[in-house]
Structure 1
Amino acid sequence: MAEEEDDPIVQEIDVYLAKSLAEKLFLFQYPVRPAAMTYNDMTHLSAKIKPKQQKVELEMAIDTVSPNYCRSKGEQIALNVDGTCGDESSTYTSKLMDKQTFSSIQAASNTARYAAAVYRKGELHLTPLRGILQLRPSFTYLDKADAKHREREAANEAGDSSQDEAEEDVKQITVRFSRPESEQARQRRVQSYEFLQKKQAEEHWVNLHYYSVKDSRSEHERQYLQCQATGMENTELIKSPSDYLTMLMPPSTEEEIDKPVAPSNVLSMAQLRTLPLADQIKILIKNVKVMPFANLMGLMATGTDSTAVLRCIQQVAMLVQGNWVVKSDIIYPKDTTSPHSGVAAEVLCRGRDYVMWKFTQGRWVVRKEVADVTKLCQEDVKEFLDHMAVVRINQGWEFLLPYDEDFVKKHPDVVQRQQMLWMGIQTKLEKVFNLAKEDMMPKKQDAESAPSLIISGVQRINTARAKLNENYVQVERGLQSKKDLSKTSTAWSNADTSSVMVKEEPLSEDEEPMDTSAAGDSMNNGLVNGVHLDGGSRDSLKGRSIGGHTDVVSQELKEFLITTFKKHCVLSLSELKRFFNLHLASLPPGDKLFSGISDKRLQETLLDTGCKQILVPFPPHCAAAPDEQKVFALWEFGDVYDQHRQVLFGLFSKNYRIRRNVIQARLTQEFGDDLSKQLVDKLLKDCCASHGGMWYLKGTVQS
């Protein structure tokens, strides 16, 4: 047996478990410091701990007389942190960075298997560790310096906010009601960073007194690392080797304990396919919101029956333009409320059903119109539209997916069944929202032409342009025919001296021009929002105006422009056209301005009235339309503020947004230090708009 022994016992050592410091012993590690360079000889200024969180902060002095210390850099850091004024709250009272702070983090949350060992006189004494902490330099003083910098910036811009700005910053407040918190939501909240930060801030610091390694108190405390009762009789180990090994090295449960709870709606495809088919489809459509049937089949397992999928999808979704959209009661279950407004789920379902029904009638929906009908807040309506549409600038919300003609042709029975369901929903919507049946009637169309009737706003504009050009041709022909007829009548009158002479005379103010369009449309049908899209053809008609009709129109247009700019001071071209359309709507039928004003003529008349275009340098990738980038202002009002306004316009010809202090400095430079705050406020109120702490010319603020 002796010859077969390959692991002989060399020495037996008695092991003792010391418990005097078991609940107070921490192991400190300094991962950014070499082991040979200890902090034992450094002066420790203070120490504090949060026992429950096991968070420690140590404050140590820095040797400012060392040849390796940069004094100028230390002074600069102290100046950035504390500023020029020194008081008791200053971080560095000596005006020099003469200390640094070390902050701890836990290296391991479960320290049950770790202990500090002391070997002395053939005995091994083990003391369990309460925690293992890693201490690293803390840079919270940089946060304080950054806060000082922001305070200085705010002080430099003092006075920027006026009464007018305060009024502009008023925003609508939406009251929200919190819903009951589920267990999973509570666990996610407890493990969130915000909750942990709040919890850490609630526990108070406990100040400690630091003793160096060589201090007599330290030597006294180190004696407790040895077991005090060593005279006890040793007991035999009755555990089996495997049990003893398990006791020494218990299985790790740290990862399982600290593993965060996953959201309830997160499933892998492997987990998803273990569920029943109906549950699979419900989970998919609830998360995706809108899906073509072909994509849904692609997510199903190989060999899944399409008929079974069709049967299940109709229980949780509705057919919109050949695509499947999740039902409203799936998104908003019973007894829930809106996170935005606190509205009940039943009301939300009716509003969302109305949006879905609108998309069964066409490709486009306007959010404001939906809000007016449903009486819901803008946030709720936007959430409905985000589920199934995408916003297009100046056009509205377009349905997210193209019309699925293949599905409609392959499954006419499903399409017919869905149409019947939509008819029932339409009847309910008529009663709930008190809508007229004429507004709810769908446009007549056959199955083959359904996709072609769904046209975009751009296509509608192109159609309007074509119709406009056709009307111009018809108007020109009518005017030419009238002129030829007039010449013939004059010649006939000259041949018969006994007859009354007939000649061309200008139209009086009470007369209206002849309707010469072949289709019965008036000349104003060539207008889009009161302004012609193509000014070339209309300008050719301008020269053919009869007698002094053109002068009367020009004079009336000039009066409108002067009145508008004296009221608004600065306007973009698109905003000016909007005001012009409102002006046209207020005029009686047959007014001279209804003869049609092109963009070109409008801009020429602008320059004649003393207005000038301000060439605002918009950024290269600006999303504003070309009309939005044309900004005009009345150059001279005839008051004492003309020169001030011209200096302001000159500033905006160099940059499209300016801070108030820059405007104030330039006006002070031009007109002296006696410039009053009331004058600057008036200029900014008349000509500019505030947004995000910057000032823009009116009509140029980008959303």
Structure 2
Amino acid sequence: MASGDDDDPIIEEIDVYLAKSLADKLYLFQYPVRPSTMTYDDVNHLAARIKPKQQRVELEMAINTMSPNYCRSKGEQIALNVDGTAYDETNTYTAKMMDKQTFSSIQATTNTSRYAAAIFRKGELHVTPLTGILQMRPSFSYLDKADNKTREREAANEGGDSSQDEAEEEVKAITVRFSRPESEQARQRRIQSYEFLQKKQAEEPWAHLHYHGVKDSRSEHERQYLYCQSVDASENSELVKTPKEYLTMLMPPVAEEKVVKPVGPSNVLSMAQLRTLPLGDQVKTLMKNVKMMPFANLMGLLASGTDSTAVLRCIQQVALLVQGNWVVKSDVLYPKNTCSPHSGVPAEVLCRGRDFVMWRFTLERSVMRKEITGIIKLPPEDVKEFLEHVAAPRVNRGWEFLLPTDGEFIKKHPDVAHRQHMLWLGIQSKLEKVFNFSKEDFMPKNSLQPEPVHVSGEQRLKVAQDRVQERRPSLQKDLDSKRAGSSVHIKQEPVGEDEPMDTSSSIPNGSVNGYPSTASPGFDHTNGNGGDASTLELQDFVKKIFRKHFVLTLNEFKRLFNLHLASMPVGRSVFHSVSDHMLQEAILLSPCKQIMVPFPAQSKAAPDEQKVFGLWETGDDFDKHRRLLYDLFTKNYRIRRNMIQARLAQEFEDVPKADIDRLLNECCSSHAGMWYLKGTIQS
């Protein structure tokens, strides 16, 4: 060692043997409530039993009632509470005092593949794998039995007093309910419930065992099985492994289970724990628990100094604005692939119904529960839950919105209010299709609606001439300054709010696919090329959206475009009047093409849903796979996966499965074993 040739010399070589005689029967018992110096070896074991499948063990041990540390009066009192005064063979304590205790096991770990019991003898190490590691803790089931006895005595006393009333028992109506077929989600929840696990545990019978002490001859005999029974060198081959492989065998890498801490308790929020989360999670947790609150209250719950702009960004991800107050989104309360705890209705249907209820509150302060139920066709329990989130019942007024309208927030943040209004218009459009109604059906009957005033063309012309006369000096000044040949941009003046307009006449469309535009109709006010800015931005939007979605119907593209408009600040949009034709032209001018999908003749899809566009060219080698897929869908509107695989293999020989999965995930949706282009699945 002094020379430094070997600073880790081999001191001794030990042969290791694997003993398998007790491999499936060996358990390690731990007693965490007692120190290792106080063993139970000398304690009288009265009984032992095991449930092998569950690895549950119970041991009954005697208590030394003659010990000076034993309180005899307390032991007698416990026995009296558990067994009562009558003697019975089923009594827990036959000696009229607590003279024994039961130890029940829990699994210390579910994976014992890395643990073994080893014994060293004559230069040999014999190793036996462990079947289970169990922690033995005192069981207090006798307290439950005492509580049951107390309840039985109280019930007997009450029963004797009410014997006169039982003779005059009234006839009561019986309500018969038929259970719904159990869904897969409900079945999974039932299997994971505490009652189901308790029932499964009770089904396995106990196997009774005989206990043998440490010094018993039978224990000594069984202990011999810890040694390998065959140590003949001819039967044991030498382990030929590299040191790294040997270490891997000894300590195989195990993926540690990540314990996911809940973001908050189900019924109570710890503010100290809440503030350790990112801001987005804080806002989501608060809204999920509170359901609805004004923005000022939300800022009060967050840590002092929190940026209100950042909170505004977060709240819009998880909530919608209703009468100036923030209400949690339906998909946050009812995530995908879940169902109603009351009726088992899928989350998608619940979200549509709750969105309808929230939308109604954007129109009026009170709604009628019966009317809501008749439209959304959901069970009364679910409708009541929707309403209880945001409203309270009022006599002769139905359900009234809980909070007053927060006009201060709307006045302070007009851009957010406008964006939320646009989102509600999009939700309204979807709800109208699903529930087959129009907004006019829910206009308050007693509200004072202004009568439409029709103005003749001569009156409109006169108003315009008067405005020109008023603005003549400023226009003349502009003309003089631009007389060198530059063009003059005239911005159309909107008619004042107090001046009537002919709503029946045809005027330049100031909306985008039915949604109000964020800019006034007229000439482009950003540059002088007559709309080049809007065209370029529209094409840029097309490229970005198809790079993300790859395949879109015209209807879905318009929805995404409207959401894009709604997310833009007020007055910053360069889009004025954009028609469907302009949107299609922008798509075809970008690296996209229309896919002529042969929809069936009986298809109920709208015309915009039958116009399908796909990303054609991105510049990578994957484009050829995408084009071949589009070609297949020009022959049939639905295709099986094996047909797609066969065609790809025919054209490009060996196509990895990962590439096929990527292609289908990017461009298609699956339903009932068939693959469709995105947005073309027929209901």
Normalising by the residue count of structure 2, what TM-score does the alignment of the two structures yield? Answer: 0.50
Mark the structure with the bigger radius of gyration. 1
Between structures 1 and 2, the one with greater helix share = 1
Normalising by the residue count of structure 1, what TM-score does the alignment of the two structures yield? Answer: 0.49
